[in-house]
Chains A and B, each alone.
Chain A
Amino acid sequence: MSFKAGDVQAVAHLARLSIDDSRVPDYARDLSRILDLVEQMNRVDTDAVNPLAHPLDMAQRMREDEPRETVDRDAYQAVAPKVRDGLYVVPRVVE
């Protein structure tokens, strides 16, 4: 698999990542190498194998949906880039 410049920018858009055009050729080369490595998986036939998501086969633990700790909004918003009146401020979304 070889990654082209256009592929890098298309995936970068999906990831909402701005990448300077000058760095695209290096990324294309690196990602192609990584996919070559990854494709060594194809040496093995896995048609009859079930995928494994959790190494200990644990199931998702559930609990009752009851209110517990209360979030301290001021403490959480103290690290936000921009807040006003307890709200997170972002560029205008709806005109």
Chain B
Amino acid sequence: MHELDLAEVSAALQRGNFSSEELTRALLERIERIDRDLNSFITVDAEGAVAAARAADRRLADGEAGPLTGVPVAHKDIFCTRGLRTSCGSRMLDSFVSPYDATVVERLAAAGAVVLGKTNMDEFAMGSSNETSYYGPVRNPWDTERVPGGSSGGSAAAVAAALVPGATGTDTGGSIRQPAALCGITGLKPTYGRVSRWGMIAFASSLDQAGVFARTARDAAMLLQPMAGFDERDSTSAPDEVPDYLAEMESTDLEGLRIGLPREFFGEGMDPAVSAAVEEAVRVLEGLGAKPREISLPSLGLSVPSYYVLAPAECSSNLSRFDGVRFGHRCENPADLEDMYKRSRGEGFGAEVQRRILIGTYVLSAGYYDAYYLKALKCRRLIRDELRAAFEEVDVIAGPTSPETAFRLGDKTDDPVRMYLSDINTIGVNLAGLPGISVPAGFADGLPVGLQLVGGYFREGRLLGVAHRFQEATDWHRQRPGAYA
């Protein structure tokens, strides 16, 4: 059963080929057996999953089921789940159990999805390799000596190893698309504001966006459908109406579709084998009627520098709530209030989170605000305006998701800046708030390569449609890691 994709699982449950409980138990057993190697889950909720599966089976029997009823999913451990630990990959929240569900969790539960557990991640979603997790690194199912990408590495690895057919993630600078690319699966980051941030532990609130992992574009559309939409509890939730994503996907025609290939996406630091696979993928789209052409987005070069002001600045503010008073880690025997704040935070946060808090505090401090924070906001406008203008000329922008395939564990942990450059092709999309998707597009030295497609605001349906047509014409998304097939 584990080899079925999400749409196949949904159809099989509706037909009664097997029950949700049978499937759930089989996947729980598979996680038990395989996840010792991968470490993709922080918490498995066997009891809750079986109970939810039984409830789903009753709805299926009563003819009250929707497309996700009884379908197993996993949540990145950044989404608050009532009664089930939410750690955010941090010692700070090692024993934190949320009193409420995130909107994403609530909506997928209402749609009937069965939550198997919470997936591993870089601490507070800060990282591109899943090595900053307090719970240890996640390993890539294609080669367990390599990283799955990050920060949503647990969700990506779990879907790639067929431990679960779909999972949620969050993407602040590439944290869905880059792990999807490195693990050979499909990962969608919607438009900023499309999916509610309520109950999703904040990293950089002007950039954070929830999205999905699955094997196919169709699966991603099915998962996104109930998640998307206005939520009054999120002050930046988009009021725009949610289209029928599957219908938009099915009706997408590539004939005449204008694809822009920014030369900056194929620039310095790109692995030539990755570029070659992506260029071949673009030829496939061209064969389906699309019209690719080179474009130039020179301001994209400002993305990584300005992001590493804005994201740390927002994180230093957001993470000030972790003070040892109301929730989270508190140090032993604090001498006074300041000692409690400092030691609780010093003990609770790992090195990468501390680095970002320090950078963020520094760029916001008196005398430096204009030179760093204000400057970065101005660069952000240049990047956003340039990308927005590009969508007057093209329908979709394409390029490699990541400059390279999965790297070895430990390869970049000594140099944060090298790690940050892993997201060179994804960060600009977050700064502009645009939707992006990564789809499997071939292999380089036996490791998956991701094609990134970026669409105009709220054009998730078309993005999924382009990905779907590509997946009809190729079978890269059907390739599975041999050891975990």
Q: State the Cβ distance, A28 to closest chain B Cβ, in Å.
A: 10
CA–CA, A17 and B327, complex, Å:
17
Contacts of A14 in B (CB 8 A): 361, 365
Write the chain A residue with the least CB distance to B366: A14
Prevailing SS type, chain B contact patch: helix
- Taken together as a complex, chains A and B put the C-alpha atoms of A42 and B375 apart, in Å, by 8
Partner of B362, one of A31, A60, A63, A80: A31
A 30-84 contacts with B by CB, 8 A: 30-31, 33-44, 46, 49-56, 58, 60-61, 63, 72, 75-76, 78-82
**8 Å CB contact of B325 from A35, A52, A78, A90:** A90
Are A90 and B343 also in contact (CB < 8 A) when A34-B359, A51-B380 are?
Answer: no
Alpha-carbon separation in the docked complex, A40 to B374 (Å): 14
Q: Choose from A34, A43, A78, A81 the contact partner of B324 (Cβ within 8 Å).
A: A81
A42 to chain B, nearest CB (A): 8
A22 adjacent to chain B (CB < 8 Å): no
Most chain B CB atoms below 10 A, which of A8, A27, A44, A61: A44
Binary per-residue interface labels of chain B (367-385) against chain A in the complex, 1 for a CB within 8 Å, 0 otherwise: 0000010111111111010
Which residues of B, 96-154, contact A by the 8 Å Cβ criterion? 96-99
The answer to whether A46 touches B378 (Cβ under 8 A) is yes
Are A33 and B236 in touch, CB under 8 angstroms?
no
A54: which B residues are within 8 A, CB to CB? 206, 236, 433
State whether B377 touches A52 (Cβ < 8 A): yes
Instruction: Report, as a range, how many residues of chain B touch the other chain.
Output: 35 or more
**Residue from the list A35, A46, A78, A93 in contact with B99, Cβ < 8 A:** A78
Give min CB distance, B264 to chain A, whole Å: 14
Across the interface, which residues of B come within 8 angstroms of A58, CB to CB? Answer: 193, 236, 238
Of the listed stretches B31-39, B268-276, B414-422, B460-468, name the one at the interface; the rest are far from the partner chain.
B414-422
- Looking at the complex, which one of A18, A39, A49, A75 makes contact with B342 (CB distance below 8 Å)? A18
Known contacts A18-B343, A19-B346; A30/B302 CB under 8 A: no
A53 and B206 in contact (CB under 8 A), knowing A19-B346, A33-B416, A41-B375?
yes
Question: Given A17-B346, A34-B417, A49-B381, does the pair A88, B325 have CB atoms closer than 8 Å?
Answer: yes
A-B contact count (CB 8 A): 167
Within 8 Å of chain A (Cβ to Cβ): is B483?
A: no
Contact B372–A11 (Cβ < 8 Å): no
- Chain A residue, CB-CB nearest to B335: A91
Provide 19 A-B residue pairs closer than 8 Å at the C-beta atoms, listed in order of the A residue.
Answer: A16-B323, A31-B362, A34-B355, A34-B416, A38-B372, A41-B306, A43-B301, A44-B382, A52-B378, A52-B384, A55-B432, A55-B433, A56-B433, A79-B326, A80-B326, A90-B340, A91-B335, A91-B337, A92-B336
Closest 10 CB pairs of A and B: A55-B433, A51-B377, A18-B346, A52-B381, A81-B330, A46-B378, A18-B342, A75-B99, A16-B341, A49-B378
A→B interface (CB under 8 Å): 8, 11-12, 14-20, 23, 27, 30-31, 33-44, 46, 49-56, 58, 60-61, 63, 72, 75-76, 78-82, 88, 90-93
Known contacts A80-B325, A88-B325; can you find 10 more A-B pairs with CB under 8 A?
A8-B358, A15-B358, A16-B323, A18-B345, A18-B347, A27-B355, A40-B304, A52-B377, A54-B236, A56-B433
Interface set of B (CB-CB < 8 Å, partner A): 95-99, 191-193, 206, 232, 235-236, 238, 299, 301-302, 304-306, 308-309, 316, 320, 323-330, 334-343, 345-347, 349, 351, 354-355, 357-359, 361-363, 365, 372, 374-382, 384, 415-417, 420, 431-434, 457
